[in-house]
């Protein structure tokens, strides 16, 4: 179901000198040849440690574009305005790595566990004249301005929570919430589903998984049914030998459907994925808290370089991805 578009982009809405909408500029063309802008609300629905997040709706440059009318989040820096694209570069690079690994992981476990639509970068084009008014009604810190760089990502509606913990699920907002059901079916998901028709195993060491060790010997992930949720982080190390993708957050709309993710965190050997990248310490911390299960127990783990007097820190990972570092 598509969210009813608040307003469409063309032409600009004005009432005399008054600007009605908050809106972004059109994005660059994505890999499906589509471009989007977002109209967004007058105040953020969340202000956290780093970001102020606005709910919005995507407007395609054409009405037939696949995500036209879908709900989105316009992510802004909370305490200042991003004045260059570079400010979002680590965030977008993490998203690209995630986007690359998720279809591979889904294939390797034989089902579509996760779906992920990477955010796009754009600028604020127009600030509504009503923003100041709404600030009185709903006080908030963020003061965005035209030309500020922002990223736009899918809005995840139901039961947003941390997914990859070995402990019971906790809603990221301190409780569950479900406003309505969003059954967005992005083209990414569809194409990924098609390319994932094959059965298991992309990775060499996943060939013998499930066969040698009874599942009962492994502690289970949060709902005892989905070891895939915790195995994904281990998989990212196994595949790359350079980083772990962690802090998986998102939700699924119904039982059996894939978990939609927002951009996670990467801890890398080169510590090159922005300020949330804790480098080797982050990777060590990940493995300290990670409990292997039937999917990932055979995969190599991070080894501290000094441990065996070699420069290597990788065991048993499959062919490296092309990383920028």
Ligand X SMILES: Nc1ncnc2c1ncn2[C@@H]1O[C@H](COP(=O)(O)OP(=O)(O)OP(=O)(O)O)[C@@H](O)[C@H]1O
What are the residues binding ligand X (CB under 6 A)? Answer: 46, 48-51, 53, 73, 153-156, 160, 172-173, 262
Cβ proximity to Zn ion: between 142 and 209 the closer is 209
256 conformational bin, left if phi > 0, alpha if psi -120 to 50, beta if neither: left
Q: Which does 109 bind (CB under 5 to 8 A by kind): Zn ion, ligand X, none?
A: none
Cβ proximity to Zn ion: between 94 and 292 the closer is 292
| 17 DSSP assignment | T
* 68 lines the binding site for Zn ion (CB under 5 A): no
Residue with tokens 């350079």: 242
Kindly tell me the sign of the dihedral angle through the C-alpha atoms of 122, 79, 3, 249.
positive
Q: Which does 234 bind (CB under 5 to 8 A by kind): ligand X, Zn ion, none?
A: Zn ion
Q: Which does 262 bind (CB under 5 to 8 A by kind): ligand X, Zn ion, none?
A: ligand X
- DSSP character string of 174-217: SS--B-S------HHHHHHHHTT-S-S-SSGGGTTTTTSS-GGG
Structure tokens at 245: 């993708």
- Minimum CB distance to Zn ion, residue 231 (Å): 6
Structure tokens at 208: 């013998």
Distance from the Cα of residue 39 to its chain's centroid: 21
Q: Which does 292 bind (CB under 5 to 8 A by kind): ligand X, Zn ion, none?
A: Zn ion
Cβ proximity to Zn ion: between 156 and 292 the closer is 292
Cβ proximity to Zn ion: between 117 and 292 the closer is 292
Q: Which does 49 bind (CB under 5 to 8 A by kind): Zn ion, ligand X, none?
A: ligand X
Partners of 266 in the beta sheet?
245
b (16+ CB within 10 A) / e for 67-105: bbbbbbbbbbbbeebbeeeebbebbbbbbebbbebbbbb
- Minimum CB distance to ligand X, residue 192 (Å): 18
The span from the CA of 54 to the CA of 44, in Å, is 4
* 234 lines the binding site for Zn ion (CB under 5 A): yes
CB atoms inside a 10 Å sphere around CB 310: 9
* 244 lines the binding site for Zn ion (CB under 5 A): no
* 248 lines the binding site for Zn ion (CB under 5 A): no
Residue nearest to ligand X (CB): 48
Backbone angles phi, psi at 238, to 5 degrees: -55, -40
- Minimum CB distance to ligand X, residue 325 (Å): 24
Cβ proximity to ligand X: between 114 and 160 the closer is 160
Structural Rg of the chain based on CA atoms: 21
Pick one of 296, 302, 317, 318: the residue that binds Zn ion (CB under 5 A): 296
Q: Which does 172 bind (CB under 5 to 8 A by kind): Zn ion, ligand X, none?
A: ligand X
Q: Which does 256 bind (CB under 5 to 8 A by kind): ligand X, Zn ion, none?
A: none
Pick one of 292, 294, 302, 313: the residue that binds Zn ion (CB under 5 A): 292
Cβ proximity to Zn ion: between 124 and 292 the closer is 292
Q: Which does 296 bind (CB under 5 to 8 A by kind): ligand X, Zn ion, none?
A: Zn ion
Q: How far are the Cα atoms of 78, 83, 118, 294 from residue 186, in angstroms, in the given order?
A: 28, 30, 11, 31
């Amino acid at each position: 179901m598509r969210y009813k578009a608040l307003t469409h982009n063309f032409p600009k809405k004005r009432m005399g000198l008054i600007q009605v909408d908050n809106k972004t500029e059109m994005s660059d063309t994505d890999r499906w040849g589509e471009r989007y802008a977002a109209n967004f609300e007058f105040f953020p629905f969340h202000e956290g440690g780093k970001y102020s997040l606005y709910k919005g709706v995507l407007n395609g440059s054409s009405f037939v574009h696949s995500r036209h009318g879908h709900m989105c989040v316009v992510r802004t820096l909370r305490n200042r305005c991003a004045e260059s694209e570079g400010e979002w570069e680590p965030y977008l690079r993490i998203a690209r790595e995630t986007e690359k690994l998720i279809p591979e992981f889904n294939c390797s476990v034989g089902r579509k566990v996760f779906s992920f639509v990477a955010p796009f970068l754009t600028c604020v084009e127009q600030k509504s004249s009503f923003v100041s008014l709404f600030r009185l009604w709903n006080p908030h810190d963020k003061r965005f301005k035209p030309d500020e760089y922002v990223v736009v990502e899918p809005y995840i509606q139901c039961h947003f929570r941390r997914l990859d913990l070995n402990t019971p699920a906790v809603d990221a907002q301190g409780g569950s919430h479900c406003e309505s059901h969003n059954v967005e079916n992005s083209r990414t998901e569809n194409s990924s589903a098609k390319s994932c028709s094959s059965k298991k195993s992309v990775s060499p060491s996943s060939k013998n998984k499930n066969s040698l060790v009874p599942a009962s010997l492994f502690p289970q992930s949060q709902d005892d049914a989905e070891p895939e949720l915790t195995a994904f982080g281990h998989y990212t190390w196994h595949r790359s030998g350079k980083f772990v993708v962690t802090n998986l957050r998102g939700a699924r709309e119904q039982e059996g459907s894939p978990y939609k993710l927002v951009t996670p965190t990467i801890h890398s050997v080169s510590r090159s994925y922005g300020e949330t990248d804790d480098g080797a310490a982050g990777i060590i911390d990940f493995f300290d808290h990670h409990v292997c299960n039937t999917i990932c127990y055979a995969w190599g783990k991070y080894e501290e370089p000094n441990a065996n007097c070699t420069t290597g820190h990788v065991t048993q990972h499959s062919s490296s991805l092309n990383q920028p570092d």
